[in-house]
Amino acid sequence: MDDTRQRILEAAYACVARWGLAKTTVEDAAREAKVSRATVYRTFPGGRDELINAAVGWATYEFFVRLYEQVQGADSLEEVMERGIVFAHRSILEHEVLQRVMQTEPEKLLPILTVESNRIREGIAGFLVPYLEERGVAEGVDPKEASDFLARMVISYMSGTGRWDLEDPVQVAQLVRAELLAGVVAGPEPG
């Protein structure tokens, strides 16, 4: 990503953090990035909507880079999922911009997240396929369908914990083994 585009995305994100989605303008992002409005429009010809969507996409990408770093070195599918769920849940709870926008402007954020959620789900599913293939799936289970199912479940638990305390590693392990992987993987965990 070129430096100007990166600066504009970071600036737009900072503006959303400061003023929210509805009040962030192209002019605000240009001023914050120390570029002209014309530069923003050349970089994001779709204007404000394209800029905001790109900033959300960029923030999502940055989240997944950190998530990927968290699960590196995991020895099993179970460990990947446990580390990932704990990190993702904690990140969402501690993400000041996301929490602020969800509280003050959910109607503006939800359509963007709906579009992004397909990319997020596909990314998580693609990441899990090799772990599922290595771990082995239950008879009659397709690894790609299983990875899609697990990605959907992980996304649902990232923001809504249900009856589980996702701060407790024991409960997260129980969730992963007893609910998410039950019926998906073959036999007991190797080891």
DSSP 55-89: HHHHHHHHHHHHHHHHHTT--SHHHHHHHHHHHHH
Domain map (residue ranges) of the chain: 1-59, 73-191
Alpha-carbon distance of 135 to 120, in angstroms, equals 23
Q: Is it the case that residue 64 has pLDDT exceeding 90?
A: no
Alpha-carbon distance of 176 to 182, in angstroms, equals 8
Total-model pTM: 0.77
Local confidence band at 5 (pLDDT 50, 70, 90 cut-offs): very high
Separation in Å, CA 35 to CA 12, 14, 21, 40: 12, 15, 20, 7
Average pLDDT over residues 22-37: 95
Q: Which class would CATH give 1-59?
A: mainly alpha
Separation in Å, CA 106 to CA 52, 77, 97: 14, 33, 12
Helix and strand numbers, DSSP H then E, in the chain: 9, 0
Give the per-residue pLDDT at 69: 92
Average pLDDT over residues 85-89: 88
Q: Is it the case that residue 138 has pLDDT exceeding 70?
A: yes
